[in-house]
Structure 1
């Protein structure tokens, strides 16, 4: 029963994340989000999640810097109590690696500052018996909710699209800067960067597609 509830919660969370992503990348224009929904389905959630995490690097780094110290402190708390769980150690090690990669690659100094400040505060509260310790224990007990809220926050706060921005050149010389959301013969659906509108062109009219950040 508990496992079924967990699966349902994950499914609901994935659906909410997808809805927030559609609205956010459409700059909360309901009509554009509705048009995008035709090219995305629930099976695409993993791709949308991974694309969002990597595409919104700075915000991802800051959110990880906020949540990861809490998760690590909770894990340390369990280890001290003799409740070591190897899979949690592996999972947290991977997330630490992701955070380090984001900080180094993107030079996200705000993320580094956030990680250091939050880590210092969390471990200070955890090791000292003070008035804030019961609140920290409540956060540890509801860590899933904290992670879920951070996850949904990422979905709704960044307008970064989960696919790369491209320069699309048409046969008549017209260039469109945007995101290819779907290619389904004979049409190509593009979400434009300027204005975030949906533009549908004939696939046969597309001469080239290059990454917008290519030199």
Structure 2
């Protein structure tokens, strides 16, 4: 099965992708992981990508799609793949479609995990961090003592990107950039929307029900 997973920040996409990868024994492929691996290994495309990354520039689509093409032709993708974080634009979607056709691995479905902006703000703004590496959530995983790390006793803090005004800006950008893609895959008949407001387990069951159709 060949699946692309969509979802805004805080929708639980990463958590679902990790569990789905294990459940179906197909690789979870994220563009960030691919970039880091190729830069680390010093591949030809990795060297090109690093030139842009070192200058703080976006890696061009031509380089990125080449990295993805190489990744999808590796042996562990023979039974399928789970794409995460790609494509993000219509030109990327067009380039991906061409590559997938070339390597005979077309998408079976694009699963879009939907969560309202208000719920996402509540989820993301409740996160708290500690300098020791521990993390908490005011609703789902609160510390034993308010504002204090269970592990080391240090004061917890809220990361800048977990503050409400930053979250709302991220969601505005996501919705603006993603809406055309939702329409793109909706018009192609590949899009399946999933309500992501339930528990991790309940959303997992629904997504599995969809993916089982393509086994």
For normalisation by structure 1, the TM-score amounts to: 0.28
For normalisation by structure 2, the TM-score amounts to: 0.28
Larger radius of gyration: 1
Using CA pairs under 8 Å that are at least 6 residues apart, name the structure with larger relative contact order, 1 or 2.
Answer: 2
